[in-house]
Amino acid sequence: MVDQVAAIEIRNLRKVYGDKAAVDGLTLSVPQGCFFGFLGPNGAGKTTTVKMLMGLAPPTSGEIELLGLRMPEDALEIKKQIGLVPDESLLFDHLTGGEFIQFAGRIYGLDRTIAAARSVELMDLFELGGAPRKLIAEYSKGMRKRVAMAAALIHRPKLFLMDEPFEGVDAMGARLMKDILLEQVRRGATIFLTSHVLEVVERLCDRVGIIHDGRLIAEGRVEDLRGSEETLEEAFVRAVGAGRAMESLDWL
């Protein structure tokens, strides 16, 4: 039996800015059909890694394969098969949500009629259909995140790359988005996301990787990393060495 190709295969990945390595020798394999959480403190290299996977930042050295295809050689074919939700919602403010989702579908090669129909369905699915003529410029941050995720879904990708997808989203919106993502995983898609909300990662993800100072310091199933008596947050703090006692101030 032939082993299944990994959804994400990273080997000795480095990204250097000046004399600082934001990502320093990262090696990681994410199996297909996995809900993978990529964790780390601020400045650890999470967003830089995701930008390299998205093709938005060229690596200094190392190898990236997504769905068995190599970056950057097969970048165009890769982008047809992945859905992107970057940390900065790169949306067009002077379009409506539906127009932007339809535009994304056309960029991914969908027929105009199919893109239009799916756009309407996705607006309703993400509970954005109540104000169809409202411009994205008038959207809240949470609504912008919903539109970005809807646009990432329109071509039914095999792999999702998401940087802080729940940031700024209210509880109802986050619940809706989580349910949609879990359904995608049940259908065989792979999700790779970063998040600072470890309780969300603990509930959603079956595997996590922890990056610190540009290096992978832990990776595995959630239940293995946290053990029987720890939360994921406690395991994370222990892994990154941030568990020192808080210094007190006399006046505080």
**Residues 160-214: tens digit of each pLDDT:** 999 999 988 888 889 999 999 999 999 999 999 998 888 889 999 999 999 999 9
Residue 122 and residue 67 in one domain: no
Is residue 249 assigned to a domain? Answer: no
In a domain, 250, yes or no: no
pLDDT single digits (tens) 80-137: 999 999 877 779 999 999 999 999 999 999 999 999 999 999 999 999 988 889 999 9
pTM: 0.91
- Kindly state whether residues 75 and 162 are assigned to the same domain: yes
The pLDDT, as a whole number, for residue 237 is: 87
Phi then psi for residue 45, to 5 deg, are 120, 10
| Statement to judge: residues 190 and 69 lie in one domain | yes
Assess whether 169 and 229 both reside in one domain.
Answer: yes
63 plus 161 within the same structural domain: yes
Tokens of 84: 């992107």
In a domain, 248, yes or no: no
**Residues 218 and 123 placed together within one structural domain of the fold:** no
Single residue among 132, 156, 180 that ends a domain in this structure: 156
Q: Report how far residue 142's alpha carbon sits from residue 8's, in angstroms, rounded to the nearest whole number.
A: 28
Kindly state whether residue 190 falls inside one of the protein's structural domains: yes
Range of the domain at 20: 1-81+157-241
243 pLDDT above the threshold of 70 = no
Would you say residue 2 has pLDDT above 50?
Answer: no
Asked if residue 62 belongs to a domain, the reply is yes
Residue 171 lies in a domain: yes
Of 156, 177, 199, the domain-final residue? 156
pLDDT band at 1; cut points 50, 70, 90: very low
Same domain, 52 and 172: yes
Q: Do 177 and 142 belong together in one domain? A: no
Last residue of a domain, one of 125, 156, 187: 156
Q: End-to-end CA distance of the chain, in Å?
A: 64
Same domain? For 76 and 18 the reply is yes
Spatial CB neighbours of 185, under 8 Å, sequence gap ≥ 6: 33, 34, 35, 191
Whether 76 has a pLDDT exceeding 80, the answer reads yes
53-57, 226-230, 244-248: segment of lowest average pLDDT: 244-248
Residue 213 falls inside a structural domain: yes
How many domains, the chain? 2
| Domain assignment of residue 12, yes or no | yes
Helices (H), the chain: 46-54, 75-79, 97-107, 112-125, 141-153, 171-186, 198-204, 222-226, 232-240
| 187/172 same-domain check | yes
